[in-house]
Structure 1
Amino acid sequence: MKRKLLGLLVGLVLVLAACGGNDETAGDATTVNAEKVFRQNCGSCHGQDLSGGVGPALDKIGSVYTQEEIESIIETGKGMMRGKMIVGAEVEAVAKWLAEKK
């Protein structure tokens, strides 16, 4: 019984280790490719080129909101957009990148 349990535990650990994680969330905001994260998570609604679509255009969002305000919108959501579409270092990196769009 103990061998089976130990085998199951070791197998589970190996499976979880193999799954890894999203490398974009690891580290800090300076190591995250904000444009890539945006395209993968936000571009389908806001347009791959920030021109809008289902969601509003974000090509000049930095002239409307500060980085901190953009972070807050990403975390809590706004309108039809739900919050926490991205998390961790991705939020800061994408917000900084978008805040530069003026």
Structure 2
Amino acid sequence: MKRNPLIPFALIAALGIIVMFVFSFQGLNKSKELADAKNGGKPAQTASKPEDIVKQSCTSCHGDQLQGAVGPNLQKIGGKLSKEEIQEVISKGKGNMPPNIVPADQAAKVANWLSKKK
């Protein structure tokens, strides 16, 4: 019986892939600890004012002045949608916007703030 010379290489490759997955999952679990350490050992602070929440969570898609970028323009969104409709979009997502970008209590604050933009 002759052995296939590629089997040891395949086993080493499979082992390497398994090790890579194990280390990547360990790294994901450590990311919060690293963020806290970068913050002086304190947990990352969440914004409490609606303007700060929007700046932290929304401007990357909607632009720094809410003028629209990847996401739509929100400068006059209160004239188009009610507070409840805005909160539903924040909570459930719509189109390219994923759901639950911010926690429910912050979503209510942001929806109230955005509903006044007319």
Q: Scaled by the length of structure 2, what TM-score is found?
A: 0.61
| 1:98 pairs with 2:86 | no
In 2: Cα distance, 1:62 partner to 1:44 partner: 20
Equivalent pair of 2:91/2:104 in contact (CA under 8 Å) = no
Say which SS state the counterpart of residue 39 (structure 1) adopts: helix
| 1:78 pairs with 2:78 | no
Query: How far is 1:48 from its partner?
Result: 1.3
Query: How far is 1:96 from its partner?
Result: 0.5
| 5+ residue gaps, structure 2 | 1-32, 34-40
Question: Structure 1 segments of 4 or more deviating over 4 A?
Answer: 18-23
Q: Let me know the Cα RMSD of the aligned residues.
A: 1.8
Total equivalences in the alignment: 80
In 1: Cα distance, 2:71 partner to 2:60 partner: 9
Structure number with bigger Rg: 2
Higher relative contact order (CA 8 A, sep 6+): 1
Q: Scaled by the length of structure 1, what TM-score is found?
A: 0.70
- Percent identical pairs in the alignment equals 38
| 5+ residue gaps, structure 1 | 1-14, 25-31
| 1:57 pairs with 2:58 | no
